[in-house]
Amino acid sequence: MKGKYLNLTSFKGDGTGVSTPVWFVEEDGRIFVRTDGDSYKVRRIVHNPSVTIAECSASGRLRGEPVPARAEILRNGGPQHVDELMARKYRLDKVLILPIYRAVQRIRGRPGTATDPVVLAITPR
């Protein structure tokens, strides 16, 4: 996958898809996404690891066809080098965008950082 954003669609118990644009890195045919351990997408993936992925814009507008995939939750930070890969790919974004995102999360009543971050390892089918 190319680009900076990945549209990750996870599914509710009734089969309804919920899409979220996320930052990602790719290594050895797997895609890695770091997210809050208490996020709704993690909760949905716990119950149903089937997801779809597609390249997208920052707003979530698709730039490619969705591809079926399987997501696995890697607790305790997952592969340590995922942070290094993310830092390399999103160097400028982490300085400019991440502080704004965290401020918006605080305004919405969510803490700026998760107490239990996780890595999602996504394998396209």
Q: Look up the CATH number of the domain holding residue 94.
A: 2.30.110.10
List of residues 6+ apart from 95 with CB closer than 8 A: none
Whole-model pTM: value is 0.84
Order of all β-strands in the sheet with 5-11: 17-23, 5-11, 50-56, 67-74, 117-124, 30-36, 25-27
Range of the domain at 62: 5-124
Higher pLDDT, 112 or 58: 58
Higher pLDDT, 70 or 97: 70
- The CA distance from 12 to 10, in Å, is 7
Domain count, the chain: 1
pLDDT of 40 over the 80 cut = yes
Question: Is residue 32 very low, low, confident or very high in pLDDT (cuts 50, 70, 90)?
Answer: very high
Mean pLDDT of 83-88: 88
